[in-house]
Amino acid sequence: MSNDQIRIVVVDDSALFRLLIRNILSEIPGCTVVGKAENGIHALEIIKKLSPDIVTLDVEMPDMNGIEVLREMNERGDSSQAIMVSRLTDAGAQVTTDALLEGAFDFILKPSGNNLEENKLLLYEALKEKINTFKHSRQSQQLPGQQQEIVENEIEPHSHSETRTSETGRYAAVLIGTSTGGPEALREVLPKFPAEFTLPILVVQHMPPEYTAKLANRLNGICPLEVVEATNNMPVRPGTIIIAPGGCHMKVIFRNKKVVVRLTDDPPENSCRPAVDYLFRSAADVWGDKAIGVIMTGMGQDGTDGCLQLREKGSYIIAQSQDGCVVYGMPKSVIDNDLSHRVAKLQSITSAIIQQSRQK
């Protein structure tokens, strides 16, 4: 077997879906299914024995569901990456979102239609995309690191000292864009903002509808700042984290001399809706040199054009360093185009934002 083959274990309580996913993976170049499991307990045994690169992990299983398997994998220190396989249900969306927050690589949706050939095609395209993203992430981990300044010092989470400085500082907003690996990264970054932080924070995380509301709800439970999913014409309030809803672009506009959120169904950009570029461009128009733009883990180049427009207006750009990126695509594009003022490790991004927000 070639060393560049992606070794996969398929976990699903449905024999039909195990067979379907196994057959589809056999058609994707570079993939080899090395094992299968019908429940979580068996899955943990197989994963420990075979150490696959990827586990396709059914979200909803009796006795031990997908997130419980993932938590046990994390506890054991397994190196395998999990791609969650979820039905588009309220319960499925919640468990999948929780899994992403706890480090699952990504997820795909089980087709809900009755046409078998159409279902196979949908699964094939979804799995192929995630496998290619995984390959990219593995390759990016072998790239040489950046030479730009890296922020090492860290501000204590929930610190009450010198945080209410945006009232006199030059900045008006923080903008964050991320994709694959983003929920886990947001879980690291957002809870560290203290309740006294006064800048609004607007977030684009590439996710489909239903999932962003679950993400906002979970983050709201662990963040000192309020976290909400955006609604149309929502005012951009100080000290509030606003997450773009899946399936909609989010931009900021002036209305009655106040900044509000506008949601649109404009065409996808970079195959994404919401798109980071879409938000960042509007922020460049509204805030000019008074925004802090942050690009974190994700596949592709979404955010690069937006960072260019922000930087041309005089705003400040922070990119996540290669170390800790699940996929070093979006930050790499920003860095390679000389658009980042600072490169920060994931654990230091919050302190980098807070430090910059103090500048006048």
Over residues 40-81, the pLDDT tens digits come to 999 999 999 999 999 999 998 888 989 999 999 999 999 999
CATH value at residue 258: 3.40.50.180
Exposed e or buried b for every residue in 209-223, given b needs 16+ CB within 10 A? ebbbbbbbebbbeeb
Q: Which two tokens stand for residue 354?
A: 């807070």
Mean pLDDT of the chain: 90
Which domain covers residue 167, as residue numbers?
151-357
| 156 in the same domain as 241 | yes
Last residue of a domain, one of 140, 159, 183: 140
| 174 in the same domain as 93 | no
Catalytic, out of 98, 166, 206, 277: 206
What pLDDT band is residue 138 in, cutting at 50, 70 and 90? confident
User: For the whole model, what pTM was predicted?
Assistant: 0.90
In a domain, residue 145? The reply is no
Q: Which two tokens stand for residue 60?
A: 């909803």
Which has more pLDDT, 133 or 112?
133
Q: How far is CA 97 from the centre of its chain?
A: 11
Catalytic, out of 302, 315, 321, 348: 302
Over residues 237-269, the pLDDT tens digits come to 999 999 999 999 999 999 998 999 999 999 999
Which has more pLDDT, 271 or 147?
271
Last residue of a domain, one of 84, 109, 140: 140
Q: Are 329 and 300 a contacting pair, CB within 8 Å?
A: yes
Told to judge if 179 belongs to the known catalytic residues of this protein, a careful annotator would answer yes
Instruction: Give the range among 5-9, 155-159, 225-229, 307-311 with minimum mean pLDDT.
Output: 155-159
Q: Are 246 and 210 a contacting pair, CB within 8 Å?
A: yes
| 158 in the same domain as 133 | no
Average of per-residue pLDDT across 6-13: 96
CA angle, corner 44, sides to 43 and 50, nearest 5?
85
| 335 in the same domain as 229 | yes
Average of per-residue pLDDT across 316-329: 94
| Residue-level pLDDT at 165 | 40
CA atoms within a 13 Å half-sphere pointing along the CA-CB vector of 91: 6
Told to judge if 166 belongs to the known catalytic residues of this protein, a careful annotator would answer no
Is pLDDT at 146 greater than 60 in this prediction? Answer: no
Q: Which two tokens stand for residue 123?
A: 């699964």
| 114 in the same domain as 219 | no
Average of per-residue pLDDT across 91-97: 86
3-class secondary-structure state, position 88: coil
In a domain, residue 74? The reply is yes
Average of per-residue pLDDT across 118-131: 92
| Residue-level pLDDT at 152 | 45
| 133 in the same domain as 170 | no
Told to judge if 302 belongs to the known catalytic residues of this protein, a careful annotator would answer yes
In a domain, residue 146? The reply is no
| Residue-level pLDDT at 118 | 86
CATH value at residue 121: 3.40.50.2300
User: For the CA atoms of the chain, what is the radius of gyration?
Assistant: 21
Other beta carbons within 10 angstroms of residue 244's beta carbon come to 28
Residue 309 gets which letter from DSSP? H
Structural domain count of the chain: 2
Over residues 179-222, the pLDDT tens digits come to 999 999 999 999 999 999 999 999 999 998 889 999 999 999 99
| 166 in the same domain as 93 | no
Last residue of a domain, one of 85, 110, 140: 140
Catalytic, out of 166, 179, 348, 357: 179
Residue 177, phi then psi, degrees to nearest 5: -125, 135
What pLDDT band is residue 111 in, cutting at 50, 70 and 90? confident
| 193 in the same domain as 340 | yes
Residue 260: which region, alpha, beta or left (left: phi > 0; alpha: psi -120 to 50)? beta
